[in-house]
Amino acid sequence: MNDMSPPVQPQQSSMRYGILVIAILGVLALSVVAYEQLGSTADAPAETATTESSATSSPVVTTTTQETTVASFADGEYTQVGRYTSPAGPEEIVLSIILQDGIITDSSLETRATNPASINFQGQFKGGYKQLIVGKSIDEVELDVVAGSSLTPKGFQEALEKIKQEAATT
C-alpha cells in the first residue's frame, strides 16, 4: 500500500509566531499587549478622578482603577509603534488607526520585520461568531481569484432556504 519514503524533514524555522494587534470591527477592546497607551495625537482618555474626603471622622477614599479595556477614545488618527519579541527576535510594527465614535473606520499597518510572523487580534462575538479585522470589499482590490470556503452546492443552498422558511413560520 503505502511504500512512499518519509518526506524531507521541514526546516526548524518554518513556524514562528509574533504578536501584532490590528483593527477590530465594532466596539473595541484594544489589546494592550504590544502597545503602550494610545493617543499620541489626540486627547488621552480621561482618568477617573480620585476623590478623597478631607479630614472627617470616617474618611472615604476612592481609588482610581486604570481602565485597560473599553475606554472612550476621542475621534482621530492614532499611530503607535508596537514592539514584541518573537522567537526569531525582537520585532516592530507600526499601526495607524482612525477612530470615529469609538469605532475603527480605517487602519494601516507597516510591518518593519523582514519576516512577518503571526498576528493576534481580538474580535467580538456576533451571532455565534466573532467579528474579525476590517476587510476590504473584493471589488475594491485587484486580484485574480479568491480562496475561502468552497461555494455551497446548489442543492445545499436550496435545503438551507427551506430550513430558514420553516424556522420563520414555527
Partner 1 sequence: MMRQEIKWSFEAIGTSWEISLYQPVTTQQYEQLQTSIHQKIAEFDLTYSRFRLDSIILQLSQPILSGIQSHSVEITPEGIALFDIYKELYTATKGLCNPCVGATLNGLGYDSQYSLTPGKMSAPPSFDVVTLDGVTLSTTQPVCLDFGAGGKGCLIDILANILESQDITSYTINGSGDIIHHSDAPLRVGLEHPVQNDTIIGITSLTQGSLCASATNRRQWRGYHHIINPHTLTPVRDILATWVIAPTTLLADMIATCLFLVPPEPLKEIAEFEHMIIDAKGKIDISKTFSVEWVV
1 forms part of the interface with partner 1 (CB under 8 A): yes
How many Å apart are CA 65 and CA 136, to the nearest integer?
37
Cβ proximity of 78 and 96 under 8 Å: yes
How many Å apart are CA 45 and CA 41, to the nearest integer?
12
Looking at the Cβ atoms of 16 and 83, the one nearer to partner 1 is 16
Cell of 15: 513556524
32 forms part of the interface with partner 1 (CB under 8 A): no
The stretch near partner 1 (CB under 8 A) out of 50-58, 60-68, 73-81, 148-156 is 148-156
Residue whose cell numbers read 488621552:
44
45 forms part of the interface with partner 1 (CB under 8 A): no
Q: Which of 44, 70, 94, 163 binds partner 1 (CB under 8 A)?
A: 163
Cβ proximity of 122 and 29 under 8 Å: yes
Tell me which residues touch partner 1 (CB under 8 A): 1-2, 4, 6-8, 10, 13-17, 22-23, 88, 107-109, 115-123, 126, 129-138, 141-156, 158-160, 163
